[in-house]
């Protein structure tokens, strides 16, 4: 299964929202967000993981490139 998570910075926290799944988490840093996404997805889909399904997480983000 491939789960897509949209990542964005709200000005204070990095936020992650599951696309097509009811998942939301956040972190102070992007690394913390990725760790929290793994945990939230594992908890949300634990029944599938226990059945032996493989799971891949794709983190999608848009980043503004400001002019110099």
Q: Tens-digit pLDDT profile for the chain (68 aa)? A: 899 999 999 999 999 999 999 999 999 999 999 999 999 999 999 999 899 999 999 999 987 778 77
Of 38, 6, 35, give the one whose Cα is nearest residue 19. 6
**End-to-end CA separation in angstroms for the chain:** 41
Task: State pTM to two decimals.
Answer: 0.84
What backbone phi and psi angles, to 5 degrees, belong to 48?
-70, -40
Q: Which domains does the chain have, with CATH numbers?
A: 2-61 (3.30.160)
């Amino acid at each position: 299964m491939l789960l897509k998570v949209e990542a964005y910075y709200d000005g204070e926290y990095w936020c992650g929202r599951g696309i097509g799944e009811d998942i939301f988490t956040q972190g102070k840093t992007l690394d913390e967000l990725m760790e929290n996404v793994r945990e939230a997805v594992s908890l949300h889909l634990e029944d599938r993981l226990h059945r032996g399904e493989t799971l891949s997480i794709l983190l999608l983000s848009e980043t503004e490139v400001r002019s110099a």
